[in-house]
């Protein structure tokens, strides 16, 4: 869902359809987020007029009197297109690249994934053993991606410190920890016997 101010109707457009963003809570949060964004951009480029337009737009939304209109998703979504589906893969890979660039834990996951792949190929694991390891690795990466997305959204929704936002981030980080511990246990159960056998043969 995207929000845009229409100069023609002097209303907010939600997903391209003219509709007032009615909730005061949403308006306050949106104003705070947009204001912080424009303040930061204004410091770099000196574009103070755009920030003033944003303030004016939200003020008009408050005083428009249309406080009972709830924004809805468009009833007629865009038709299916192969080019659009290919573009969605581009966005997905961009998200993965962002996670790898910004999250130090993702680097650890990448090294662990590479180590598991090398050990699995070296020991010649069976199909079901590979399935167990792939599921374990996928669980960790999925949890890390969701945790990264939640952190980015939380930072935008609440630029200032908030205890509830901190708790949400902590819970998301706990989910990654649960997935990592479970994956480590699975990896130990699958690769442990191979490693012990290899060490026994190498040392004795």
Q: Which residues contact 183 (CB under 8 A, 6 or more apart)?
A: 136, 137, 139, 140
For residue 14, pLDDT over 80 is answered with no
* Residue 151 and residue 91 share a domain: yes
In a domain, 75, yes or no: no
* Residue 86 and residue 130 share a domain: yes
Mean pLDDT of 106-119: 94
What's the CATH code of the domain at 140? Answer: 1.10.287.3610
In a domain, 77, yes or no: no
* Residue 86 and residue 47 share a domain: no
* Residue 87 and residue 55 share a domain: no
In a domain, 53, yes or no: yes
In a domain, 191, yes or no: yes
In a domain, 74, yes or no: no
Q: Rounded to an integer, what distance in angstroms lies between the CA atom of residue 92 and that of residue 96? A: 6
Q: Half-sphere exposure of 46 toward its Cβ, with a 13 Å CA cutoff?
A: 0
For residue range 72-88, list pLDDT tens digits in order.
Answer: 445 556 677 787 788 88
Q: Rounded to an integer, what distance in angstroms lies between the CA atom of residue 48 and that of residue 34? A: 13
Say which of 17, 144, 151, 201 is annotated catalytic: 144
The residue segments making up the domain with residue 118 are 82-203
* Residue 17 and residue 112 share a domain: no
Say what the pLDDT of residue 136 is: 96
* Residue 120 and residue 43 share a domain: no
* Residue 104 and residue 14 share a domain: no
* Residue 95 and residue 39 share a domain: no
* Residue 91 and residue 187 share a domain: yes
Q: Rounded to an integer, what distance in angstroms lies between the CA atom of residue 114 and that of residue 112? A: 5
In a domain, 175, yes or no: yes
Highest mean pLDDT among 40-44, 51-55, 167-171: 167-171
Reported in sequence order, the residue ranges of the chain that DSSP labels E, i.e. its strands, are 3-6, 11-14, 17-18
Task: Provide the percentage of residues in the chain whose pLDDT is more than 90.
Answer: 45
Specify whether 17 is catalytic.
no
* Residue 94 and residue 168 share a domain: yes
Mean pLDDT of 138-150: 95
Return the higher-pLDDT residue of 47 and 112: 112
- pTM for this entry: 0.61
* Residue 194 and residue 96 share a domain: yes
Number of domains, the chain:
2
For residue range 15-38, list pLDDT tens digits in order.
Answer: 444 444 444 455 555 555 555 555
In a domain, 18, yes or no: yes
Q: Rounded to an integer, what distance in angstroms lies between the CA atom of residue 147 and that of residue 112? A: 18
Final residue of a structural domain among 19, 36, 63:
63
* Residue 116 and residue 150 share a domain: yes
In a domain, 68, yes or no: no
Tokens of 119: 């050990």
Least confident residue range of 31-40, 93-102, 173-182: 31-40
């Amino acid at each position: 869902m995207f929000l845009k101010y229409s100069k023609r109707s002097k209303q907010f457009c939600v997903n391209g359809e003219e509709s007032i963003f009615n909730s005061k809570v949403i308006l306050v949060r949106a104003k705070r987020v947009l204001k912080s964004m424009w303040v930061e951009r204004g410091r770099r480029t000196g574009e103070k007029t755009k920030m003033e337009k944003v303030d004016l737009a939200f003020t008009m939304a408050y005083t428009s009197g249309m406080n009972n209109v709830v924004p809805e998703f468009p009833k007629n979504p865009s038709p299916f297109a192969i080019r659009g589906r290919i573009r969605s893969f581009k966005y997905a890979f961009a998200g993965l690249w962002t996670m790898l660039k910004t999250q130090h834990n993702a680097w650890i996951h990448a090294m662990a994934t590479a180590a598991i792949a090398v050990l699995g190929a070296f020991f010649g694991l069976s199909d079901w053993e590979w399935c167990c390891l792939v599921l374990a690795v996928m669980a960790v990466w999925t949890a890390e991606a969701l945790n990264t997305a939640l952190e980015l959204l939380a930072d935008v929704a609440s630029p200032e410190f908030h205890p509830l936002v901190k708790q949400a981030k902590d819970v998301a980080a706990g989910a990654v920890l649960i997935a990592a511990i479970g994956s480590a246990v699975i990896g130990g159960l699958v690769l442990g016997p191979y490693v012990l056998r290899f060490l026994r043969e190498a040392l004795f």
